[in-house]
Amino acid sequence: MAGGLEQLWAGWRSDYVVSATEEARQGGDGACVFCAIAASGPPSPDNGVVWRGELSLAVLNRYPYASGHLLVLPVRHVGGLEDLDAAESADLWASTLAAMAALRAAYSPDGLNMGSNQGRAAGAGVPGHVHLHVLPRWAGDTNFMTTVLGVRVIPEDLRVAWQKISAAWPDD
């Protein structure tokens, strides 16, 4: 199933952050989309943030690979997981586990993918601000085909996803 894995990661490469990076590039001021999201205020359907803590946050992927595709990231602008301090690292991990629990509760998926592309060569769209992908998967799902063919199909209205995931996010 090496081909399947390859296609999965190819899907992650063409996410939200690629087009967001284009916007930042056109802005020309080195703006980081994740820092902008982190500074955009409390969670709401408008900023796509489903959960916000002091050290980390979870945001909906604007161009999801699957319904409920989340990005979990530290508030601080750092490029690698190894650049986080101990408190940030623990907080990011706790937030990632909460994201997984929320997706299981909201979507009852057959499985989950969780992982990170570190560096542009590995497919990161915003290599300067580390982020973890968490997304639900279903047996026989074929969303990767839309990615491979370059046709983006939004699986679900993002506001619907925001409501579902916010409601399912575990209490602190």
Q: Supply the residues annotated as catalytic.
A: 131
Which of 163, 103, 171 lies closest to 132, judged by CA?
A: 103
Q: With the C-alpha atoms ordered 48, 130, 1, 149, is the resulting torsion angle positive or negative? A: positive
Candidate residues 35, 78, 81, 148; the one interacting with Zn ion per rule CB under 5 A? 35
Residue nearest to Zn ion (CB): 32
Closest CA to 103 of 91, 114, 89, 92: 114
Contact segment (CB under 5 A) with Zn ion among 58-66, 77-85, 131-139, 162-170 equals 77-85
Q: How far is CA 73 from CA 15, 51, 70, 115, 142, in A?
A: 15, 11, 10, 12, 27
> Residue 129 CB, nearest distance to Zn ion (Å)?
3
Choice between 129 and 137, CB closer to Zn ion: 129
By CB under 5 A, residue 31 contacts Zn ion: no
Binding residues vs Zn ion (CB under 5 A): 32, 34-35, 77, 129
